[in-house]
Amino acid sequence: MIDMERKKNLLLKIKKLEAYTEIQNTMGRMIAAVNFRRKEEVLSYFALDQEDVSFEYADEGVFKGKHAVQAGIDYLLGTEIRPGEMIDLQLTTPVIEVADDCETARALWWSPGAASVLREGEDPQAQWIWGDFAVDFIYENETWKIWHLHYFTLIHCDYHKGWVDDTSLINRKNTPMHEESQPTTWHNPYHPKAIRYGIPAAPYPYDTWRKEDENWMLRNDKTR
């Protein structure tokens, strides 16, 4: 006969496993929408009812709050895809930790990707775009939603030159790129003369969301 404590632990593990699967699918569908510039679908995966909903993309700045997130997604994905243009981001190596209260979750994905960027009077430029997605999820209305998302650039370079020879796409000023954005919190892509740090951090198991832990993804000591 299973005692109540064991039953409780078993039910918690099942609930976390279900959450893990839903979070994986939510993130995968969101990235697919990004790749094809379906901005309204992208927005549908964000917890827009949360006052502090946010996303930060590379060095474009932090978009915080419903209206800023909407403006930021429109800024990044608002134009129609033209012939010859392409972006394709992938998700690999997920590390997902669902809180013990099953109200929030923390997740990390590595993201290899490529792009074809149009140029006036020239053939499109093939680019490497590799980075990491660190994300907080929140459970609301029986659905897992993206609460805070931060995309960290690892390499962004011309495909033919490679990330050692071409650093021209990573050296912009660390200032907001849009009137609705705030300054970038972290932008440290690969550079042949710089040291890489272990940021973003992989999440550790945790019991519940605490305000003091909101910057877990910026820690490089990998502690809890």
- Spell out the long-range contacts of 30-39 with Cβ–Cβ below 8 A and sequence spacing 24 or more: 30/146, 31/89, 31/90, 31/91, 31/111, 34/77, 34/87, 34/89, 35/87, 35/88, 35/89, 36/81, 37/77, 37/79, 37/80, 37/81, 38/77, 39/73, 39/74, 39/77, 39/78
pLDDT class of 196 with cuts at 50, 70, 90? confident
The predicted pLDDT at position 62 comes to 94
Indicate whether 156 pLDDT > 90.
yes
Reported pTM? 0.92
| Average per-residue pLDDT for the chain | 92
CATH 3.30.420.40 fits 4-218, yes or no: no
For residue 219, pLDDT beyond 90:
no
Please write the tens of the pLDDT for every residue from 45-93.
999 999 999 999 998 889 999 999 999 999 989 888 899 999 999 999 9
The residue ranking higher by pLDDT, 1 or 116, is 116
| pLDDT of res. 92 | 97
Percent of the chain with pLDDT over 90: 73
Model pLDDT for residues 6-41, shown as the tens digit of each residue: 888 888 899 999 999 999 999 999 999 999 999 999
Residues 108-127: pLDDT tens digits? Answer: 999 999 999 999 889 999 99
